[in-house]
Amino acid sequence: MSNIEIELFDGTVLEFPQGTSQDVINKVAKQETMARRNDPNAGFGGGSTSGGGSGAGVDFSAGETAKDVALSAPAKFASGTAGLLSLPGLGADLGAWLAGKVTGREIDPAAAATIKAAIPGFGTMLQRQGGDAFETMSSATMGGSEYQPKTTPGKYVGSVAEMLPGVAFGGGVTSAVASGVGSEGGAQIAESLGFGETAQGVARVAGAFFTPFAVNTASKTVNAMFDRASKNPTLDTLQTAKQAAYKAVDDSGATFDASTMDDIFARAKVAAQQKSYVADVDAQTRAALTILERNAGKSTTIGELDKIRQGLSARYNADKSQAAILDMIDIIDDKIAALPDTDALMNAARVANSRYKKAELIDKAFADAELTTAGSGSGGNIQNKYRQAVTSIVKGKSAKYFSAEELGLMRKYIEGDLPQNLTRLIGKMSPSGNGLMMALNIGAIAANPMMAAITLGSAGAKTASDAIAVARGQGLRGALATGVMPPPTPSVLPSLARPIPGLLSQIEGAR
Residue 489, pLDDT score? 56
Where b means 16+ CB within 10 Å and e means fewer, 425-443 reads: ebbebbbbbbeebbeebee
> If we measure between CA atoms, which residue out of 161, 164, 148 comes closest to residue 38?
148
Task: Give the integer Cα–Cα distance in Å for 305 and 81.
Answer: 68
* Angle, CA 146 vertex, CA 188 and CA 118 arms, to 5°: 115
**E strand or H helix that includes residue 182:** helix 173-192
Task: Give the integer Cα–Cα distance in Å for 501 and 155.
Answer: 17
Q: How confident is the model at residue 109 (pLDDT cuts 50, 70, 90)?
A: low
For helices 500-510 and 152-163, give the axis angle rounded to 10 degrees.
130
How far is CA 441 from each of CA 162, 206, 444, 464, 465, rounded to the nearest angstrom? 36, 21, 5, 19, 19
Residues with Cβ within 8 Å of residue 262, at least 6 apart in sequence: 296, 297
Q: Whats the size of the chain, residue-wise?
A: 511
> If we measure between CA atoms, which residue out of 221, 187, 222, 188 comes closest to residue 203?
187
Mean pLDDT calculated for residue range 307-327 = 92
Task: Give the integer Cα–Cα distance in Å for 386 and 369.
Answer: 6
End-to-end CA distance of the chain: 40
> If we measure between CA atoms, which residue out of 199, 201, 197 comes closest to residue 451?
199
Percentage of the residues of the chain whose pLDDT score is greater than 90: 15
Task: Give the integer Cα–Cα distance in Å for 415 and 85.
Answer: 35
pLDDT one-digit tens code per residue, 148-206: 888 888 888 988 888 888 888 766 787 788 888 888 888 888 777 777 777 777 778 77
Residue 208, pLDDT score? 74
> If we measure between CA atoms, which residue out of 71, 68, 84, 152 comes closest to residue 505?
84
* Phi/psi of residue 15, nearest 5 degrees: -115, 135
Residue 288, pLDDT score? 94
Task: Give the integer Cα–Cα distance in Å for 290 and 57.
Answer: 85
**E strand or H helix that includes residue 16:** strand 13-16
Highest mean pLDDT of the ranges 90-104, 116-130, 403-417: 403-417
For CA atoms 31, 32, 36, 37, the dihedral sign is negative
| Domains of the chain by residue range | 253-342
Mean pLDDT calculated for residue range 400-407 = 88
User: Is the pLDDT reported for residue 421 higher than 60?
Assistant: no
Highest mean pLDDT of the ranges 81-85, 192-196, 204-208, 458-462: 81-85
pLDDT one-digit tens code per residue, 277-293: 999 999 999 999 999 99
pLDDT higher for 193 or 486? 193
Task: Give the integer Cα–Cα distance in Å for 225 and 476.
Answer: 13
Task: Give the integer Cα–Cα distance in Å for 164 and 109.
Answer: 35
> If we measure between CA atoms, which residue out of 511, 509, 508, 506 comes closest to residue 202?
506
Q: How confident is the model at residue 126 (pLDDT cuts 50, 70, 90)?
A: very low
pTM: 0.47
Q: Which conformational region is residue 379 in: left (phi greater than 0), alpha (psi within -120 to 50 degrees), or beta? A: left
Residue 441, pLDDT score? 46
Share the mean pLDDT of the chain: 74
